[in-house]
Structure 1
């Protein structure tokens, strides 16, 4: 199987399939209300919504990197407060996550295998490592989201 197809499969499973970790982003996030996503259930931690925005931003960042754009990571590392916590804004955030998923799927379907070995100048990692890294990043933060969602639901 072509390596980019394997990665496409991993993205699909982690977003809305049956990944090895038994939870996916869509099934974890879609039942949550805007109030639940915005709830800072533990004062020192990010909210679910802030984590989702962080995921979207990093997905977009790495997507641009592996297409040749050199990007500096902002000081806030894509963790920013959510100012509009309406149901419509939460729906828009989930749509942005879905769009980032579609963008990854489209890119990987035609991504040249040779480009996986290209080196990103800011960190000297190849593009394959960046793609695997964003999958690991999503899984890491999905674990946080699952825990926060359990805490939020217990408050009800």
Structure 2
């Protein structure tokens, strides 16, 4: 097994391949905007967590594709969980899900097209971490939040 196939397996397990846990696409498929936007007991909404995942997956994908590492702007991580209260409707939720789908598909393609040498290259401006490690940690980050989303969805059923 090489890094490319391992990382593609991780990305796909997070998004659409049923494995050790229910993949994100399957968890979200039957939620409407109202359910996705529901906040409970001070927790972020499912929609807010999805926006956070989109932000970080897009940001790292841009870095991976451009082969340049630009430090994150002065944006506060909490701001990546933002959902505009004026656009909480089913059409906007559908657009959010399409954007999520797009970034996971782009990751799959980017990894498929990458050479093993790229994945072992260290990112000089990011602690010289190799790309395989960064993408693997991104998948762990995704899995962490997928677990949160699954719990929030289960709580919706009890309301």
TM-score when normalising by structure 2: 0.88
- 1:1-156 equivalences in 2 (<5 Å): 1-20=1-20, 22-42=21-41, 44-66=42-64, 67-73=67-73, 74-77=75-78, 78-83=80-85, 84-116=87-119, 117-155=121-159
- Asked if the contact 1:38–1:82 (Cα under 8 Å) also holds between the matched residues in 2, the reply is no
> Deviations along 1:93-124, whole A, 9 cap, x unmatched?
00000000111011001112122222251444
- TM superposition outliers: structure 1 runs of 4+ over 6 Å: none
Aligned CA RMSD, in angstroms, stands at: 1.6
In 1: Cα distance, 2:115 partner to 2:129 partner: 17
- Kindly tell me: are residues 98 and 15 of structure 1, through their superposed partners in 2, closer, same or farther at Cα, counting changes over 3 Å? same
In 2: Cα distance, 1:31 partner to 1:154 partner: 16
> Deviations along 1:41-95, whole A, 9 cap, x unmatched?
22x2111000000001100111122232313152144121332110001111000
In 2: Cα distance, 1:70 partner to 1:85 partner: 31
- Kindly tell me: are residues 46 and 123 of structure 1, through their superposed partners in 2, closer, same or farther at Cα, counting changes over 3 Å? farther
In 2: Cα distance, 1:144 partner to 1:91 partner: 20
- Asked if the contact 1:41–1:152 (Cα under 8 Å) also holds between the matched residues in 2, the reply is no
- Asked if the contact 1:50–1:82 (Cα under 8 Å) also holds between the matched residues in 2, the reply is no
Unaligned 5+ segments in structure 2 are none
